[in-house]
Amino acid sequence: MSTSTGLATPALQLDRVTVRRGSRVVLHDVSLAVHAGECVALVGPNGAGKSTAVAAAVGDLAASEGSVHLSGRDRTSLSAREQARLRAVMTQQTTVAFGFTVREVVAMGREPWRSLPESERDDDAVLDALREADIEYLADRPCQSLSGGEQARVALARTLAQETPIVIWDEPTSALDLRHQMDALRCLRARVDHGTAALIVVHDLTLAALVADRIAVLRDGNVVADGPPAQVLTPALIHEVYRVPVSVMTGHDQRLIVVPHMDATTDERNQP
């Protein structure tokens, strides 16, 4: 896996970001940096603030305090099209409301490059993305006719076709079967290994350890850990954050495997 030097300007940086909804603070003083050639997985229990952090990073939610920078530039100083040339976003909601074909939806990822020299790659970028997401055979199908998992792969392909230096995926594997989960993570890892910066929200801690160079753990809107998988994914920290006892093992490829204890009692799950 790639590793960041820590010296270059981050491709994506959240600097002391706080987000409030009414009187409630849902994200508190969060700082997070993702460098080129690095994948950071954002994990944490339901309601921890993961999707809020993503929404703040892409501008869907305004930060009450702090700032977000894309390739060293304050996000608020960039037009929507400029931001779309810097980062591609895959959200949890992947449903297509109109009768577009798969090819048409994937081609929407090329819109930020319209009228620019990069647009000469439109056809090749779309074809490459269809192949990477394993949906080339669906290219002429209406998106509304697809299953949820197929639509998720279409959304993934759109972000790949966009060809940006930053990708942000919010739970991209949740609707995918095991094979396509692995295909998606291989696509992501290949892009990262060629210099893309990636921020990915994922619930499965084993998948996070499989793909990420660093894992940042959110709890109650705060970053409580941030580091390499082996440093972060300890039984003690996972139990503290998720209230579930686990074993952490090493697989045949030296990757970590997190296994919850199925026989844990309620008292064990809730103990401090």
Average pLDDT per consecutive 10 residues, the chain (272 residues; last block may be shorter): 62 96 91 97 96 93 94 95 96 73 96 96 97 95 90 94 96 90 92 97 95 97 96 96 94 88 65 58
Q: What is the pLDDT of residue 270?
A: 59
Q: What is the pLDDT of residue 255?
A: 87
In 3D space, the residue among 223, 212, 219 whose CA is nearest the CA of residue 66 turns out to be 223
Let me know: does 192 contact 37? Beta carbons within 8 Å. yes
Amino acid at 163: E
Q: What is the pLDDT of residue 22?
A: 85
Let me know: does 49 contact 61? Beta carbons within 8 Å. no
User: How far from each other are the two terminal CA atoms of the chain, in whole angstroms?
Assistant: 35
In 3D space, the residue among 231, 138, 191, 129 whose CA is nearest the CA of residue 2 turns out to be 191
Quick one: DSSP state of residue 23? T
Structural tokens at position 258: 């997190």
Angle (deg, nearest 10), helices 122-132 and 148-162 = 140
Distances (CA, A) of 231 to 75, 176, 224: 31, 28, 13
Q: What is the pLDDT of residue 262?
A: 85
- Within 13 Å of residue 230, how many CA atoms lie on the same side as its CB? 4
DSSP E strand stretches across the chain: 12-21, 24-34, 39-43, 65-70, 73-74, 87-90, 166-170, 197-201, 214-219, 222-227, 246-250, 256-260
Those residues with Cβ within 8 angstroms of residue 83's Cβ, 6 or more apart along the chain or in another chain: 58, 59, 70, 75
Domains of the chain, each with CATH number or no CATH: 12-233 (3.40.50.300), 234-272 (no CATH)
Q: What is the pLDDT of residue 78?
A: 96
DSSP E strand stretches across 47-109: 65-70, 73-74, 87-90
- Secondary structure (H, E, C), 171-220: CCCCCCCHHHHHHHHHHHHHHHHCCCEEEEECCCHHHHHHHCCEEEEEEC
Q: From the centroid of its chain, how far is CA 131?
A: 20
Given strand 39-43, what is the order of strands in its sheet?
87-90, 166-170, 197-201, 39-43, 214-219, 222-227
Q: What is the pLDDT of residue 271?
A: 60
